[in-house]
Structure formats: C-alpha cells, structure tokens
Amino acid sequence: MTASPDRARHEIVEPGQWNARAEAARDAGFTFLANLTAVDEVGRSDHIRVLLWLEDPDGGDRLRLTVLVPRDDARLSDLTHVFAGASWLQRQVHDFYGVEFAGGDNRPIIHHGGGAPMRKDVLLEPRQAAQWPGALEPGESEQSPSRRKLVPPGVPDPAVVSDPDSTPADVALSATGARVRRRR
C-alpha cells in the first residue's frame, strides 16, 4: 500500500539519537526499510545528509528520518540490528559518500580508485584526464588560449582546485561550470 503525501512524516534526528530513533520507529510499526541514502550538502552546509525512509506496511504511513553528519567526521552507528536490510544500503552510503557506520560492514562495493565519488568536492581522475570536446566552435579549444579551458561536466576548474584558499563549496561550484569569484 502506498501512502498519500499527507501520511508521510519527516523528522530531523541528532547523530547520537540515530539508533534509538530508528528502533522507536520500528517498534511503532515502521518495519519496512524503503531506502537509506545520502546527499552532499557542500555549498549549503558542511555536512552529509543521511536519509532513512521507513514505511508501516499495515497502515501505509511513511516516515523519513534525516541526520546531518559533519563532512570531516562522517560517522553514524550501524542499523543492521534494527533493520537487517540496512547492511547493503549502509555499504553503498559509505562507498559513495564516505559515511562510516560504526560496528557495520564498511567494505567497498565498488573500487573507485580513492575518494567518495558522490561527494561534490572529490576529483575523479579518469574524468579529468579525458580530453573534453566541448568547444563552442570547432577548433576553438586549441585556437583560443585566452578563453577559459572547457572541462567535462562534473570536473572542477583546475584553477579553483589548485588555489589553497578554495573551499569545498568553491570546488563543487566550479564543477557545475559556474565561474567562481575569487576573494581578494
């Protein structure tokens, strides 16, 4: 049974209450683990947002638990004793976003060659090494040295990456193709 939007609840949970709140939700009837994922909040805050979607299979009510963990110490407690199906999803969140689940299985699912690839400030080497054919006009990439070098979507501007004053938000913004204004 699918819940209507008015039957969905959202709660923000402190990292220290993550396990206790998940257990309380399960005990309240939210026994179906629908999803566990994360979002990089770089540019908005210095956090990784972890989202847990639960559903009450009898009543159809839905609950979304959200927790913000610091980017530089992204840790949460393991939920597999609460929801056995959380193991694979936790591994995926760890693999892609670098969130460590204390007491859980944090082995990588896919070897990415370093870094958490879904973090907006992680530089993916194969993407940077590939020649990008995104010139505005044929031959413009080599013939217009004064123009800013075009890079593939998702690859930050090398000038921003090499600037020691750049923040993770600056790096992420430059990967969208936007020009980052330098502070003076």
CB 64 within 8 A of CB 9: yes
CB 49 within 8 A of CB 118: no
Q: Does residue 63 carry a pLDDT above 60?
A: yes
Q: What does the domain layout of the chain look like in residue ranges?
A: 5-102, 125-174
Distance, in Å, from the CA atom of 133 to the CA atom of 130, rounded to the nearest integer, reads: 9
Judged by DSSP in three states, 62 sits in: strand
Q: Does residue 130 carry a pLDDT above 60?
A: no
Q: How confident is the model at residue 44 (pLDDT cuts 50, 70, 90)?
A: confident
Mean pLDDT (whole number) for 129-133 = 57
Q: State residue 55's pLDDT score.
A: 97
Q: How confident is the model at residue 8 (pLDDT cuts 50, 70, 90)?
A: confident
Q: How confident is the model at residue 3 (pLDDT cuts 50, 70, 90)?
A: very low
Query: Does the predicted model carry a pTM greater than 0.75?
Result: no
Q: State residue 136's pLDDT score.
A: 52
CATH of domain 5-102: 3.30.460.80
Question: pLDDT tens, 133-162?
Answer: 555 555 555 545 555 566 666 677 778 877
Q: State residue 1's pLDDT score.
A: 43
Q: How confident is the model at residue 113 (pLDDT cuts 50, 70, 90)?
A: low
Number of neighbouring beta carbons within 10 Å of residue 39: 16
Q: State residue 159's pLDDT score.
A: 80
